[in-house]
């Protein structure tokens, strides 16, 4: 968008907002309270809230001790789902877990989109988990090969427990907005859409299932 076009659009918005304020009965909207005013939650309370929010949208939260236990959890999920084709991002925590998997891992690096789409399980990390909404934030400066979280049938996210935060403000602060890379992805539960006749369908634009594995010692 050119600078001139941007100025034209912003000018029109300001003009219409000013006109709306002059209308009889106009009430100035009340902004929500600042995040700093919200009561603080301890880690256990945030974990419980995250798990409840995630469950409400069809996801499942797990908690394990360390990378070895995370590998056991991922292996059990793969066995339960009969998954033999796995795709993995290049996040450090994912690399630490891969060595403990019994299944053959299909690495994302160098693989085409079709190969990733054929994987039954995609394993990524996440740079923040948001208790307030049960959401994950993936920063693709760290979490490269973003299709791993988007194309396989089931997405497993390995998250250090220390990355669990209360709200979106804290999550964005954690990834240092001043140094943003090309993309941030927010994930809230399995992919879903209701575009056609308002009928909710899961898995059309991404994974049909989401498992979030919190790792205490990571």
Query: For the domain that residue 107 is a member of, what is the CATH number?
Result: 3.40.50.10420
> Is residue 82, in this structure, part of any structural domain at all?
yes
> Is residue 199, in this structure, part of any structural domain at all?
yes
> Is residue 26, in this structure, part of any structural domain at all?
no
- The total of structural domains in the chain comes to 1
Please list the residues that pair with 130 across neighbouring strands.
Answer: 135, 165
Per-residue pLDDT tens for 31-52? 555 545 556 679 999 999 999 9
**Cα dihedral: 96, 45, 33, 55 (round 10):** 70
- Give the pLDDT of residue 204: 65
In this predicted structure, the answer to whether residue 71 has a pLDDT above a threshold of 80 is yes
Of the candidates 62, 161, 158, the residue with the CA atom closest to the CA atom of residue 101:
158
> Is residue 159, in this structure, part of any structural domain at all?
yes
Determine the structural domain holding residue 104 and report its residue range. Answer: 43-215
Q: What are phi and psi of 15, to 5 degrees?
A: -65, -45
> Is residue 101, in this structure, part of any structural domain at all?
yes
- Give the pLDDT of residue 18: 82
In this predicted structure, the answer to whether residue 214 has a pLDDT above a threshold of 90 is yes
* Greater model confidence, 102 or 77: 77
The fraction of the chain above a pLDDT of 90, given in percent, is: 43
> Is residue 19, in this structure, part of any structural domain at all?
no
> Is residue 151, in this structure, part of any structural domain at all?
yes
Please list the residues that pair with 135 across neighbouring strands.
Answer: 130
> Is residue 10, in this structure, part of any structural domain at all?
no
């Amino acid at each position: 968008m050119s600078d001139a076009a941007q100025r034209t659009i912003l000018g029109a918005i300001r003009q219409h907002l000013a006109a709306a304020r002059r209308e009889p009965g106009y009430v100035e909207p009340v902004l929500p309270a600042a995040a700093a005013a919200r009561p603080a939650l301890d880690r256990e309370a945030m974990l419980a809230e995250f798990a409840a929010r995630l469950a409400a949208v069809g996801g499942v939260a797990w908690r394990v001790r360390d990378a070895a236990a995370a590998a056991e959890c991922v292996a059990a999920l793969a066995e339960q789902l009969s998954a033999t084709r796995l795709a993995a991002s290049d996040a450090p925590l994912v690399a630490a877990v891969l060595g403990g998997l019994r299944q053959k891992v299909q690495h994302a690096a160098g693989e085409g989109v079709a190969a990733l789409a054929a994987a039954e399980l995609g394993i990524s990390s996440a740079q923040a988990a948001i208790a307030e909404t049960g959401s994950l934030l993936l920063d693709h400066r760290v979490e490269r090969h973003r299709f791993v979280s988007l194309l396989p049938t089931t997405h497993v996210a390995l998250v250090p427990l220390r990355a669990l935060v209360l709200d979106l403000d804290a999550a964005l602060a954690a990834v240092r907005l001043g140094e943003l890379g090309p993309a941030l992805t927010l994930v809230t539960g399995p992919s879903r859409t209701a575009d056609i006749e308002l009928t909710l369908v899961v898995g059309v634009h991404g994974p049909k299932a989401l498992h979030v594995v919190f790792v205490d010692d990571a």
